[in-house]
Structure 1
Amino acid sequence: MDQGSEQTDPRAVRRDPVANAGGFTDLATSPFRIDRDRIAASPFFARLGGVTQVVSAGGAGLLHNRLTHSLKVAQVARAIAERVTTGDDAVLVDKLGGCDPDVAEAAALAHDLGHPPFGHLGEQTLDRIARHRFGLADGFEGNAQTFRIITTTDVRGPSAIGLDLTTAVRAAVLKYPWLRLHHPAPHPSEMAVPPRGAGEPDEAPGTGAAKFSAYATELDDFEQARAAFAGRVEGWQQTVEASVMDTADDIAYAIHDLQDFHRIGVLQHAPVAAELGEWLEHAGELAALDDETLHAELRRPGRSLERVRRRMHVKDAWIVDDDAFAAAVTRVRAELLDGLLAAEFDGSIEAEQATAAFSANWTARLVDGVVVLASPSTRTGHVSLRPAQWHEVQVLKFVHRRFVLLRPDLALHQRGQAGLVSSLVDALDAWLLDRDEVSRLPRRLHDLVELARAEYTELARSAPELLVGATGEPVSGPDAVRGLARGRAVVDFVASLTDKQAVTLLEALSGRAAQPWSDSFVL
């Protein structure tokens, strides 16, 4: 898009265009750079330095946290955006609504703002609590929480409601552009091949889309952000800038977590070599196994990778190719086993160089594989990867999942974290229900209750169908509305904590703290 037209581009319209209201001053003049700066200056962004990426952020500085992950995603997103806006792709990109590198970078910086303490584990726990305990039909989802932060609960924009970001950036944050249950109609989950994330989770039928990017409380902001792209992309499709952010997230995730766990000695050469080598040497025999036998033999090398290949055929028939998959396994084995894992990480210059080379080489290769698609499958966005690189990302992510995420010692750690989150919600909810102590609530929690009460009161009046979950039971009456508001406020509050703050707050609330808690725990 022509930089000179930013001020009049409909994508740059803000919800509240009043400049410098309340003494608020921006350093930049480009509206998209203003957005990027506001996100980077947000305390919700700063707190990501204390939020889990895979395991809890510690003091050693060896592992990525959500902040360093977001910075790397932003770096990759900007590189992709600059590539797709030049050369042969530029005309198509402009037709689809444009792609400004500042917008893509801003969306990448913002994309994990909604992650609660303890990462995806905390997300799953809060979702169960929100739906089962508080009756919130749209539960909790990190992407939807991000959108709630930038449009509602952060107060650093001129209007003091959200960040007053441009339409383009708000739309670019919508990785899954639909609500969990009710919007749009027909819902993307009803499509013959639902978009990635739109289908219901196998373990929770009737709960709506597994992934989504807005709650019912932010429907007006959602619709406004998407309206500017009507006729450019389908209602269920990401904008080009959202697709850039999503692709960059996949690339960064596929690479840097492998580095992390090599550094601390968790990712070992022998088991990875056995898995990849066994599949390559006996691919034909493994393909001939029936599903029951394959499942029974999953602990044997090569079987887990074969199961991944079969799942790809079921879910991603639009791109999966057995030759490309075999080539990807071959490349990953060569560069991971003969490169990164060839020697134990010992902190030496050679070890650091090998780690840096692995990251740089893979990032360059994957970014070089970016392609813009005029008519993509429902399973991908307009910005995707060529088949070779797409398969390589799947194999890299498999290695991470199989040899890190599925480790029993990590599961033990995470079960404890899930219990901590549940106990913290219980303690805060009990405080809210204690009439003698409610006046001494943390101010942030009190304000969140008032905000949610106003939101749910208005929804119950104007769109009560949005408050109804899979059971179809209507929500009516002030007590029901207050219950929803209390639940959303507690979830908002807990989701805004760092890992350490969550631990420390629970210690204080349970009487285990040695002294009155003085650490700042509000945003």
Structure 2
Amino acid sequence: MQHEHTDPRAARRSGGDSGSSLSDLAAGPFRVDRDRVAGSPFFARLGGVTQVVSSTGSGLLVHNRLTHSLKVAQAARAIAERIGSRPDLAGVLDKLGGCDPDVVEAASLAHDLGHPPFGHLGEQVLDRLARHRFGLADGFEGNAQSFRIVTTTDVRGPASLGLDLTVAVRAAMLKYPWTRRSHPRPHPKDLAEPPRGAAEPPDAPGTGAVKFSAYVTELPDVLSSRAYYDGRIESWQQTVEASVMDTADDIAYAIHDLEDFHRVGVLQHATVAAELGTWLSDALNLAGLDRSLLAAQSRLPGRSLEALRRRLHAKDSWAVDDEAFAIAVAKVRSELVDGLLAVPFDGSVEAERAVAGFSARWTRRLVDAVRVVEEPTTRSGHVVLAVAQWHEVQVLKFVHRRFVLLRPDLALHQRGQARLLTALVEALEQWVTDRHEADRLPRRLHDLVELAGAEYATLARTDPRVLVGATGETPSGPDAVRALARGRAIVDFVASLTDNQASALLEGLSGRTGQLWTDAFVL
């Protein structure tokens, strides 16, 4: 059994022995972490959380956050084993802080624990409400919520300190190892070329990074989990294990969502073929269009793909190559359009085999193309895809966004989900602030209010500048601090619900249901 003095990467958040407790089955510290994540109720709930569209009530066989996380973990472990088996990389990996397959698997299983009901749509809604309704400077971010769960709000760890995970696994979860605005200093958003996710949104200057992996309440956990890597990597860089997880997430996202929407008949052969084929046959003319004309013609085939090529040049000049981009478009047209989409999915054995074959070929192709870069640019991690496969992932993700995410029928559905979450947060706020109902709050919500109250009282006393919200004013007085704590607790509570629980809870709070005993009310 390893102990923390022999392996600092295996030190636990509690500062105790790095080995397993009596409740753990595995002996190795990182396998223990993997088991703790898999055994968490926050992990189980991901089976009821939307990946892109909800399968609830529709009978659609589509990925949810749980199946997505399992496939990310599968790809991440395969990548870690491949690069770890190469003798020529042993020195580099050791210099950068190590790459253990158990660490990347545990971090991959945990990376989406914080995703709220209704997927990325829910994330956007909760961020808006957290910042503008509750004045929380951090707002809401799914990655930061995942880190908060494993360090703070999950109580299944033996010391009731989140899951009491090791240094290496906590660090591997930090895909964006900074807070929204305050850490580290200088903040990566202020670099000449900010890391991916660190820049502020162009339409909202002063709001902080678009993506981040920790709230200010968990900053001590960031510091303790990253201390081992000081001097090995930059303060804003992912660990190698975080970079493996991030790359695997990209691979899973690029492949499995396309598989889903072919299966349900949403991804249509004709429209995808027209977009890719038109760009391939008319690339030079499209490249000559001025920006305003390209935008005006965005609904015509080929134009959206040309816009993607230009965005890649603007954001990822370190990697983009026009010849590689054209080859990638041709590859995706051959494999996806002329291959998978050419025959509509009908549920037959042949159709299932075609989907499975497409998924397996592409996963293997991308996993095998991963390489390690000792000194990457600020826009990438130490683990990257080869040039050809990087471009292929960009094109695959483009097809998903252009022909699934931007569909008007999906937008209609999501607007309804946004209204539902907004109404739920408002109803819970009214309940929490009703002094006559203080004794009848859901116990978990009550406990979250107390937890956040202690956290924000400490911050107000020790570092009040991190609490400055959208108004630009520092909260003053205990009432203002308690209001922040209530807001964070409500956001924590809503983010821990499944899609079904969020819907059923609002039904109950609005008096639209007479049903009393359901899973939504086991609170």
Q: Which bin holds the TM-score, normalised by the shorter protein?
A: over 0.9
**Residue 340 of structure 1 pairs with residue 340 of structure 2:** yes
Deviations 1:111-157 (A, max 9, x none): 00000000000000000000001000000000000000000000011
**Segment of structure 1 superposing worse, 308-317 or 24-33:** 24-33
Aligned match of 1:196? 196
Query: 5 Å matches for 1:436-451?
Result: 436-451=436-451
Deviation at 1:7, TM superposition (A): 7.1
Q: Which amino acid aligns with 1:394?
A: Q
Unpaired runs of 5+ residues, structure 1, are: none
Deviation at 1:57, TM superposition (A): 2.9
SS of structure 1 residue aligned to 2:252: helix
Aligned match of 1:25? 23
Unpaired runs of 5+ residues, structure 2, are: none
Distance 2:167 2:375 in 1: 24
Aligned match of 1:111? 111
Identity %: 72
Aligned match of 1:63? 62
Distance 1:292 1:517 in 2: 57
Contact 2:132 2:470 survives alignment (8 Å): no
Distance 1:280 1:220 in 2: 51
SS of structure 2 residue aligned to 1:99: coil
Distance 2:219 2:71 in 1: 30
SS of structure 1 residue aligned to 2:436: coil
Deviation at 1:475, TM superposition (A): 1.5
What is the aligned-residue RMSD (CA, Å)? 1.7
Distance 2:305 2:291 in 1: 13
**Residue 38 of structure 1 pairs with residue 31 of structure 2:** no
Q: What is the TM-score normalised by the length of structure 2?
A: 0.97
Aligned match of 2:171? 171
Aligned match of 1:491? 491
Contact 1:19 1:158 survives alignment (8 Å): no
SS of structure 2 residue aligned to 1:67: helix
Query: 5 Å matches for 1:129-140?
Result: 129-140=129-140
Distance 1:169 1:147 in 2: 11
Deviation at 1:471, TM superposition (A): 4.4
**Residue 356 of structure 1 pairs with residue 356 of structure 2:** yes
Q: Which amino acid aligns with 1:251?
A: I
Question: Alignment length, in residue pairs?
Answer: 521
Deviations 1:438-490 (A, max 9, x none): 21100000000000000000000111111113543111210011100000000
Q: Which amino acid aligns with 2:54?
A: S
Aligned match of 2:159? 159
Aligned match of 2:479? 479
Distance 1:411 1:198 in 2: 27
Contact 2:505 2:520 survives alignment (8 Å): no
Q: Which amino acid aligns with 1:287?
A: A
Aligned match of 1:289? 289
Q: Which amino acid aligns with 1:40?
A: A
Deviation at 1:518, TM superposition (A): 3.0
Aligned match of 1:225? 225
Contact 1:206 1:470 survives alignment (8 Å): no
**Segment of structure 1 superposing worse, 13-22 or 188-197:** 13-22
Which residue of 45, 48, 67 maps to 1:47? 45
Q: Which amino acid aligns with 2:238?
A: Q
Classify 1:28/1:280 alpha carbon distance in 2 versus 1 (closer, same or farther; 3 Å): same
SS of structure 1 residue aligned to 2:435: coil
Aligned match of 1:234? 234
Deviation at 1:6, TM superposition (A): 7.9
Q: Which amino acid aligns with 1:75?
A: Q
Distance 1:119 1:64 in 2: 12
Q: Which amino acid aligns with 1:484?
A: L
SS of structure 2 residue aligned to 1:437: helix
SS of structure 2 residue aligned to 1:158: coil
Deviation at 1:203, TM superposition (A): 3.0
Classify 1:184/1:521 alpha carbon distance in 2 versus 1 (closer, same or farther; 3 Å): farther
Classify 1:71/1:292 alpha carbon distance in 2 versus 1 (closer, same or farther; 3 Å): same
Distance 1:20 1:168 in 2: 11
Aligned match of 1:84? 83
Deviation at 1:201, TM superposition (A): 1.3
Distance 1:515 1:470 in 2: 39
Distance 2:151 2:130 in 1: 20
Query: 5 Å matches for 1:346-495?
Result: 346-469=346-469, 471-495=471-495
Deviation at 1:342, TM superposition (A): 1.2
Classify 1:443/1:380 alpha carbon distance in 2 versus 1 (closer, same or farther; 3 Å): same
Aligned match of 1:72? 71
Q: What is the TM-score normalised by the length of structure 1?
A: 0.97
Q: Which amino acid aligns with 1:422?
A: T
